[in-house]
Amino acid sequence: MHRGRRLAASVALVALVATGCSSTKARPTDRAAPPSTAPTSSPSTAPAIADHVTWADCGDGFQCGSLLVPLDYSGTTPGTIPLALIRLPAADPAHRIGSLVINPGGPGASGIEFARQARTYMGKGLRDRFDIVGFDPRGVGASQAVKCVDGARMDALLALDFAPGNDAERAALADGVKQFDQACQRTSGAILPFVSTRAAARDMDRIRVALGDQKLTYLGESYGSLLGATYANEFPTHIRALALDGAVDPTVSATEMNRLQSEGFEQQLHTVLDDCAAHPSCPFVTGTDPIGAVHQLLARIDAAPLPATRAPGNRQLGHTLALIGLVQGFYSTRLWPNLEAGLALAQRGDGSGLMVLADLYTGRHEDGTYDNTFAAFNAVNCLDQPNPTDPAVYESDARAIEQVAPTVGRITEYLSLPCAFWPVPPQGAAGPLSAPGAPPLLVVGTTHDPATPFVWAQGLARQLGAVLLSRDGNGHTAYSSGNRCIDAAVEMYLIALAPPAAGTRC
């Protein structure tokens, strides 16, 4: 399961109602990247490493550009790799502070798409005083993207059961995942060894220099917090301000991460069901056993996929996509009504609502293509730290996780299975990060964040010596979630370099 991908406030909520479901696109509209950043099948061999960005208008007040950075910072493998960037220039140039670099998480989520949402996601004070700068990290989106399979083969992969219940399903899943990994190697093998979080953090320092900023100002969401913390570990004296929201604890192993995240999702499911029971308008019929109603529905889908005729592609909702749709609904309280309506539709034999939510998570577009989130997610995670290589370990771990997360534990564990067969060995390992010599840093955590548990924010804040700002609530990440206390504190820190008092809770 993903470390978490920030669902930005302006993403259109899927229009689910008790009697139907629209096929409204549930992801931001993709924008064309500058021609110079178009992905290629192998790294650029151009020798020049850029130290500036040439910007060009790319619509709606945004400017786009690209930056060439070293493919291999060790210098062993020659070549460069292009990064795609976008910026929204400061609205008050007379009082401009500099650039605010942002990342939405994943790993694999597009910073280009994220920045396109700046007018609805970022506070006016930030947009007035900073150029809002997004970039697609190496291996992602409009930068040289990791590519593995086409849309049809991605559909086929997700039609397999990533929560396998018997030997036949486990064998089929292992075979499908092996084929996916082999396709990644064939298509993107030249860049797979070079897409680690550490390399992306070193890219960010190149971006800082190219933007003309003496110090980096950064807001990272979800996995973006790990990217920012890695930058702080590498370049502590190059920081102006660093805000890390929905924090990931780098000391947590891959297996423990799956367990803790599963617990968070399971707890959020119970919270959503409690919310449903408290509102007579909730369309999902739970009776006296809400969690039993969910399990009964999932077992029904596992036995026989549901038609999803109102969702793009006229596909069938199988067990994997039903579980992914369920989990997607936990990422934002704004999606809870949509999740409840999707579950109600599924009860009536229509999988469209859960399918639209699953498509939002997997990055599937209405035309049947996918963004490269799934590919990039595996490429980065499998490289960053060791994962089990024996499929039998995933089954034993899944059984253990099911003890604390019976609904979502199995799929959370098995979505990591690509790392068992990944063609490139891991380069990193779980371990603490530190930032000696850095200015005051800010870590933000939400007490009932299902994707990045609050304990991770506590751990990261301790390691970095950062101020911990807490939001009491549900959903993934805190900034721009509707909590004015959080928004004001984050913006005051980024603009005036005034962090909130230690222990501040909103």
Which residues are catalytically annotated?
A: 222, 449, 476
CB 185 within 8 A of CB 192: yes
DSSP letter, residue 220: E
Cα 223 to Cα 111, 156, 381, 383, 452: the distances in Å are 12, 27, 10, 15, 9
| Rounded distance between C-alpha atoms, residue 401 and residue 194, angstroms | 32
Structure tokens at 307: 């038609």
Structure tokens at 283: 């369309």
CB 110 within 8 A of CB 171: no
Structure tokens at 291: 């969690």
Q: What would the DSSP string read from start to end of 461-499?
A: HHHHTPEEEEEEEESS-STTSS-HHHHHHHHHHHHH--P
Among 254, 136, 144, residue whose Cα is nearest residue 189: 144
| Rounded distance between C-alpha atoms, residue 275 and residue 46, angstroms | 56
Q: CA 337, 340, 346, 347 torsion: positive or negative? A: negative
Residue with tokens 């994943």: 106
| Rounded distance between C-alpha atoms, residue 427 and residue 382, angstroms | 9
Structure tokens at 323: 């579980």
| Rounded distance between C-alpha atoms, residue 399 and residue 394, angstroms | 9
Hey, is 296 helix, strand or coil? helix
CB 246 within 8 A of CB 270: no
